[in-house]
Amino acid sequence: MGSKSLLRGSNAVELLSGVDALYLSGRGSIPVWLLDDLDALRTQAQESGHPVDAEIGGYPIRVLGRGWGKYRYCLSHDLALIGITQSTSLPVVRVQPTAIAIHALGPETLVLWVRNLLDAAGIDATLGVSRLDLHSDWQGIWIDAEERSSFVTYSDKRALYEVSEELSGLNHGQRGGAVYSRIYDKTRESNKEGTDWWPELWGDRFDPEQRVLRVEFEFSRDGLREFAIDTPEDAFEQLGPLWAYATGTWLSLREPTPDATRSRWPVDPRWAAVQASSLAGGALPAERIKAGKTAGTLRKLMPQLVGLLTSAAAEVGTRTLDDTIDALAPHIDRYGQQTGTAFHERADEKWRHR
């Protein structure tokens, strides 16, 4: 079936659209006592070789034994990665929320959570947006690799990715530039990355027999400044204009005509649907997203895990899973004694780095 006929057959379905990434930074001041505490925890993490569990303003965090880019202190929380510095040439705090945070809390609640954490830690900082990603997910719309020349864009940089001659990704612009776009097979990426919670977000409209096309735009700080966007509230107020600019001015898919000026080509009906995305967003309880994340990780591990267990079963002469694990337990304990690291210690280490 031709990709255009999918839309014209009224099969186009918007599954989800909205904010997919929101990176924050804050200029202000850090209390000296907090810097002293972080310095001691960072040293402890370096010496132990793994992150140190601690609290910041009552919020549970893990302090890493390394910095994060130009930020001396790197803190990990289930909802975000946090960088802190005493440098006067940088924002004192940098916050990169996780996908779980964005889609479980929603961007507005996430910003409130960040502000509450900073207040509780005694960090006096005004939050600004350093990066904002908007997305729109569709079924019933597809773009073929050979249609790459039908896009009209401000950028002269384009990257095409294919798997078995099928489009897997089409990027325009440069990463870190004012605007960067990605059009890709979200179902393929989700299967590869193990993010099995996306169908939960897509809801009842999702058809597991169809691919999901994602159209995504990344706005850097420079790109946001063109719209006078500084604070998170500025960004939330401008989601519609940002999407309209990205899909109407910066990049658009056109229907070729004999006209030599491609910008006069009519907008492709598939792209017109994308332009009209609702940007309503969606949220799920964090537990359901975490469950999907776990399911995806185990799905990726399963072929190797089952292969290793059945190979071991053949060696120890067992047939069932329970018998195999029981038979392997003494061997695993012996290996822990030989290496000086018991199984539970290895498991603890994995837990700390989740």
pLDDT string in tens for the chain (354-residue length): 344 444 443 589 999 999 999 999 999 999 999 999 999 999 999 999 999 999 988 899 999 999 999 999 999 998 999 999 999 999 999 999 998 888 888 899 999 999 999 999 999 999 999 999 999 999 999 998 889 999 999 998 999 988 887 888 999 999 999 999 999 999 888 877 766 778 888 889 999 999 999 999 999 999 999 999 999 999 999 999 999 999 999 999 999 999 999 989 999 999 999 999 988 554 434 443 344 445 445 555 567 677 777 888 888 888 888 888 888 888 888 877 877 877 776 666 655 545
Residue 12 within any structural domain of the chain: yes
Q: Kindly state whether residues 207 and 337 are assigned to the same domain.
A: no
What does the alpha-carbon distance between residue 314 and residue 307 come to, in Å, rounded to a whole number?
Answer: 11
Q: Kindly state whether residues 115 and 184 are assigned to the same domain.
A: no
Q: Kindly state whether residues 76 and 64 are assigned to the same domain.
A: yes
Q: Kindly state whether residues 69 and 137 are assigned to the same domain.
A: no
For the chain, how many structural domains are there in total? 3
Show the domain range for 230: 3-20+132-275
Q: Kindly state whether residues 148 and 271 are assigned to the same domain.
A: yes
Q: Kindly state whether residues 314 and 189 are assigned to the same domain.
A: no
Residue 281 within any structural domain of the chain: no
DSSP letter at 222 equals H
Q: Kindly state whether residues 47 and 112 are assigned to the same domain.
A: yes
* pLDDT score at 268: 95
pTM here is 0.76
Q: Kindly state whether residues 257 and 115 are assigned to the same domain.
A: no
Q: Kindly state whether residues 262 and 143 are assigned to the same domain.
A: yes
CB atoms within 10 A of CB 312: 15
* pLDDT score at 9: 38
249-267 CB burial, b ≥16 within 10 A, e <16: ebbbbbeeeeeeeeeebeb
Helix (H) or strand (E) holding 272: helix 269-275
Q: Which SS3 state, helix, strand or coil, does residue 10 take?
A: coil
* pLDDT score at 302: 67
DSSP letter at 321 equals H
* pLDDT score at 323: 84
* pLDDT score at 352: 52
Q: Is the CB of residue 74 less than 8 Å from the CB of residue 80? A: no
